[in-house]
Structure 1
């Protein structure tokens, strides 16, 4: 069975299937990549809770940065957020994001 949560005409914020929750890409507010990353991860926390999951159940994270020069700044926030011993598989790359003000987008897949 597939369960879609917060579904709109374009996408669902969460799709659950066979014990896996797929979250739509999350972006955050703020002037710096650190502020945007913190806000983005706060939104991830809320979606994980809504999906019946948590940080410790994240299987994979895909992170897009508008500029790889922001990699260290984003990682500082990420490293403080990820539970010790529960780091997921992760990829990070550079991409043109949907709006010029965006500096980071994070896509999460988690068990529930």
Structure 2
């Protein structure tokens, strides 16, 4: 049976799951909810970098991304950070949608899948 490796597991989720060299990250949000969309996006992208590194991969190996923004009007501002953060030529398949957040102060949540 193939090994499944989980990190940051609690009663409802794991922050990452690795299986057959695929790394699945849970939706990541900012900790400092006083920040605007750009500040929260920068924090989320830094947390994604750290989580990917902890799983032996990086953003050059992204396969998919799902992005939820509280206000779709913030998509452009979020993309101002997302686009330069991506490795050149390595953009993942992506969806970006407006959504109600569990905490109304969250402005963005990003979930990615990468390979090793």
Superposition TM-score tier, normalisation by shorter sequence: over 0.9
Q: 1:107 aligns with which of 90, 108, 111?
A: 111
**1:26: Cα distance to partner?**
0.5
**1:98: Cα distance to partner?**
1.1
Matched residues in 1 for 2:14 and 2:35: separation? 27
- 1:12 and 2:14 correspond: yes
Using the size of structure 1 for normalisation, the TM-score is: 0.96
Matched residues in 2 for 1:52 and 1:8: separation? 22
Using the size of structure 2 for normalisation, the TM-score is: 0.93
Q: Where does residue 25 of structure 2 map in the other structure?
A: 23
Q: 2:93 aligns with which of 78, 89, 93?
A: 89
Matched residues in 2 for 1:77 and 1:46: separation? 17
Q: Where does residue 2 of structure 1 map in the other structure?
A: 4
Task: For structure 1, list consecutive stretches of 5 or more residues without a partner in the other structure.
Answer: none
Q: Where does residue 64 of structure 2 map in the other structure?
A: 60
Task: For structure 2, list consecutive stretches of 5 or more residues without a partner in the other structure.
Answer: none
**Aligned Cα root-mean-square deviation (Å):** 0.8
Dislocated runs of 4+, deviation >3 Å: none
**How many matched pairs?**
112
